[in-house]
Structure 1
Amino acid sequence: MAATASNDIEPVEADKPLTNAADNLPFVTGARAGMSEDEIALYDRQIRLWGMRAQEKLRSANVLLVTARALGNEVGKNLVLAGIGSLTVADHENVTEEDLGAQFLLATPSVSEVVPSDATPAQRHGADRAAAAAVVGTNRAVAVSQQLSAMNPRVKIAAEQRDVSTQPASYFQQFSLVIVTDRNPAVLNYINTATRLQNQPFYAASSYGFYGFIFADLIEHEFMITRDRGNIVSKPGARETRTRTIVNVQVEGEEGAAGVKESITKREVYSTWYLASDASPLPQSTRSVPRRLRNVTPLLACLRALWNFQENRGGKENFRMPNVNSATDRAEFIGLVSKKQAFLGTPPVAADKIREFLQSVESMREISPVTTVLGGQLAQDVINTIGHTQQPIQNLLIFDGTTMQSSVYAMHPEMSLGTAQLATAPNTTAPESASEATGGTMSAAVGRALAAGTAAEAAAGAPAPIPIAGSPIPLPTPPQASG
């Protein structure tokens, strides 16, 4: 296969993504034409897995990763090693000593600080303390980005030290995909609404001790699978599920001959975080089969109760987690679990499961095996989405680290899905209809926030993004504070 070895980059405007005329799929700012022979050799095994075309799309993608805790570390590592085009790591928090326990991208000594093989235990301990002292108190995005850059110098890495939840919706336009980890429901709702306005794919994920989740809102996403043709003919326009439709079918080989293959393009439609996280019932295919209903993980009701509890603790309480030692918190949380379980129609959640869940989530403990598995699942789904290969998560994955099982549920309201959820909102004259269609995010207050961001917070001494490797990814100027 012919390859272009040039690494020159033509500057383009950050808010005008390039377009690949071959397949009419969006390419990002700074994309280079073709892959060099060195790159093909470097990524040979994964090219064999998902193909050259998917690898080129991955190489051209510009991803935003919000929050660089343990889960973000895993996602960032996997995307960088896979050969993502550029990655912006956004985190406004500083590194603490607690972060060093599970976040492997922190406190790594430089080559000159590596102790010799015959070092004494005291010398090794001193080197560890020196490495920790060098990173504690620094910005988390900067610290993580330095190590990500060392993992794969071909990937452009930038560190964003501002809280992106204070930025206007237009901020997210420069990215081809946005991933938000370990943030509260209000932030997820805001950023998901912003990415919807920019027609950008959105992922959310969090780990809570032994438990975690992944949520995807890809709005309307097409992907292609190639397989041997079976006895049942796939037809364009056929609906496989409520969310999945066959868009196109291409047959390779002569009809009736052995080894005939078909390439099927399918489209999945999605709902917003706001609607999927609380207002949506289980899919009809689950509700209508008692055995399936009984097998729904109790974590679904627990997670919905947790998000509801956090929403009730906004403002001064900063969306805090329930305190397992507080009788008031326990009673409220148990009541919320019961309410969510009744809405879903699933069996009551056992008291010991609620207690285990509360103990796990209270301090947001980071357990490396859990974040490793969850981060790997999320990164692989992002790769599939960017490459338009394989069926993506639809749309909520729940991970139980006590059983090492992942359960996926298509959580959607009884209304139009995909672009219709947001596109119809501005045209309606009934406020309640607009609120329902957008998950309540088009209220006047949130509408102003989407237009201008929380200007006072964003402009108050916010540092500019720091380029870590290669050319910096241009970011919009923070909005000016208004009187």
Structure 2
Amino acid sequence: MSNEELTENEATVYDRQLRVWGVEVQRRLNAAKILIAGMTSGVAAEVAKNTALAGVGSLSLLDDTPCSPDAAPCNFLIPADFMASQSVAEASAATLREMNPLVRIEALPGGVAEQPDTDFLSGFDVILLPQAPLSMQLAYDKACTEVNVAFFTAYSRGTVAYFFENLHVHEHTPMDAPSGAPLQKSLSSFTPLESALHHPWNKLSARFTHKLVYALRVCSEFALKEGRPPVLADLEQLQSRAQQLGREAASQAAADHPGKPLPKETVSEDVLPTEVLEELVTGDTELPPVNAVLGGVLANEILKVVSHKGDPVNNFFFFSLMDNVGQIETLG
């Protein structure tokens, strides 16, 4: 594809990014089909905005939640004068079409199914399932693996946020490949969400691992066992489980290094600060600044995936306002 094959409008709208990543990458973006399943969150709105402005081929939104002042308070795509007959997806789609008329944007009928239809998912290149229950995340991750569709999930609450991606086996070229040099393609293998969530603690470095890794582990374990997400009343139980896992990791490290001092990075029972766990469990609502950070990184990641340009995040990205750090963790 050459510059001449772009319409005048496309060349004007995408001029800046064409200078950054070239026409071939834009061609791949123009062919990409993305589904965001769930539009009540601010993270979903951020990703939808960023991918639409970048010029993906089609962006489908799935969420039949009726518009109301309380339906999606963090979704800035829903206008103040929304129509009561509109769903959250329909109102968001209308705003996105105004932002970039060159992208095919549609609000699909129906809501997000708890058990995904693989035939339906196979029509997309990327599935994003934000702010969903863990059981649903696991079901969609498994279904996307069956049809080889890239799967993303994201969560934002209070001052903490993260996203996970499973690209199965993904081929890409480096973003910073020298001009004129032969393209060196790389293959990356990804771990299913269930395996990533059960990464052994004795394989983690307490000194370098993001604290949200430990918080997510005990919260996901609780959710699978109890069939519901943990709440403030469960905080003591969660902390107790974290301490138990920390002790087990330390014991395993001692068994692996008999007669020797334990490495400084050995996971201990005090590895998970209470305030980190409490924020993940009880954060009152989404914070726009946190959503902007997570949504920006996540949208860029989706663009890398569909363009096959740049090293992908493998497989978690964590962010917290407590330390203002965004950190990639490879688990599983």
> In 1, are the aligned partners of 2:175 and 2:309 still within 8 Å (CA)?
no
Residue 191 of structure 1, CA deviation:
0.6
Structure 1 unpaired stretches of 5+: 5-33, 109-130, 230-250, 253-260, 413-483
Q: Look up the equivalent residue of 1:35 and give its one-letter code.
A: L
| Separation (CA, whole Å) in 1 of partners of 2:236 and 2:311 | 40
Report the equivalent of 1:169. 118
Distance 1:409 1:150, change over 3 A: same
Q: Look up the equivalent residue of 2:123 and give its one-letter code.
A: Q
Distance 1:136 1:209, change over 3 A: farther
Matched, 1:204 2:153: yes
Report the equivalent of 2:309. 389
Report the equivalent of 2:50. 78
> In 1, are the aligned partners of 2:317 and 2:328 still within 8 Å (CA)?
yes
| Separation (CA, whole Å) in 1 of partners of 2:2 and 2:303 | 24
Report the equivalent of 1:281. 200
Given candidates 212, 218, 222, the residue that maps to 1:299 is 212
Alignment root-mean-square deviation, CA: 2.5
- TM-score, structure 1 normalization: 0.60
Q: Secondary structure at the match of 1:394?
A: coil
Distance 1:408 1:159, change over 3 A: same
Residue 137 of structure 1, CA deviation:
7.6
Q: Look up the equivalent residue of 2:50 and give its one-letter code.
A: N
Greater radius of gyration (CA): 1
Distance 1:266 1:343, change over 3 A: farther
> In 2, are the aligned partners of 1:211 and 1:400 still within 8 Å (CA)?
yes
Structure 2 unpaired stretches of 5+: 250-265
Q: Which has the larger displacement, 75-84 or 199-208? A: 199-208
Matched, 1:149 2:92: no
Report the equivalent of 1:348. 269
Report the equivalent of 1:50. 21
Q: Look up the equivalent residue of 1:44 and give its one-letter code.
A: D
Residue 283 of structure 1, CA deviation:
9.9
> In 1, are the aligned partners of 2:175 and 2:310 still within 8 Å (CA)?
no
| Separation (CA, whole Å) in 2 of partners of 1:189 and 1:66 | 14
| Separation (CA, whole Å) in 2 of partners of 1:204 and 1:228 | 29
Report the equivalent of 1:87. 59
| Separation (CA, whole Å) in 2 of partners of 1:179 and 1:382 | 9
Distance 1:364 1:143, change over 3 A: farther
Q: Look up the equivalent residue of 1:331 and give its one-letter code.
A: E
> In 2, are the aligned partners of 1:35 and 1:56 still within 8 Å (CA)?
no
> In 2, are the aligned partners of 1:170 and 1:194 still within 8 Å (CA)?
no
> In 2, are the aligned partners of 1:203 and 1:217 still within 8 Å (CA)?
yes
| Separation (CA, whole Å) in 2 of partners of 1:97 and 1:206 | 22
Q: For each residue in 1:390-438, what CA deviation from the matched residue of structure 2 results, as whole angstroms up to 9, or x when unmatched?
A: 10001111111222211111112xxxxxxxxxxxxxxxxxxxxxxxxxx
Report the equivalent of 2:261. none
Distance 1:38 1:210, change over 3 A: same
| Separation (CA, whole Å) in 2 of partners of 1:203 and 1:364 | 24
Given candidates 240, 256, 269, the residue that maps to 1:335 is 240
Q: Secondary structure at the match of 1:379?
A: helix
Report the equivalent of 1:184. 133
Report the equivalent of 2:87. 139
Q: For each residue in 1:202-233, what CA deviation from the matched residue of structure 2 results, as whole angstroms up to 9, or x when unmatched?
A: 1111112111111111000011126577xxxx
Q: For each residue in 1:10-29, what CA deviation from the matched residue of structure 2 results, as whole angstroms up to 9, or x when unmatched?
A: xxxxxxxxxxxxxxxxxxxx
Q: For each residue in 1:271-312, what CA deviation from the matched residue of structure 2 results, as whole angstroms up to 9, or x when unmatched?
A: 1111112x223796xx5xxxx541212211111111222223
Distance 1:60 1:364, change over 3 A: farther
Q: Secondary structure at the match of 2:174?
A: strand
The percentage of counterpart residues that share the same residue type is 22
> In 2, are the aligned partners of 1:282 and 1:411 still within 8 Å (CA)?
no
Q: Secondary structure at the match of 1:88?
A: strand
| Separation (CA, whole Å) in 2 of partners of 1:136 and 1:348 | 51
- TM-score, structure 2 normalization: 0.86
Distance 1:359 1:406, change over 3 A: closer
Q: Look up the equivalent residue of 1:59 and give its one-letter code.
A: N
> In 2, are the aligned partners of 1:225 and 1:389 still within 8 Å (CA)?
yes
| Separation (CA, whole Å) in 1 of partners of 2:191 and 2:306 | 19
| Separation (CA, whole Å) in 1 of partners of 2:177 and 2:279 | 49
Distance 1:350 1:388, change over 3 A: closer
> In 1, are the aligned partners of 2:125 and 2:149 still within 8 Å (CA)?
yes
| Separation (CA, whole Å) in 2 of partners of 1:312 and 1:37 | 56
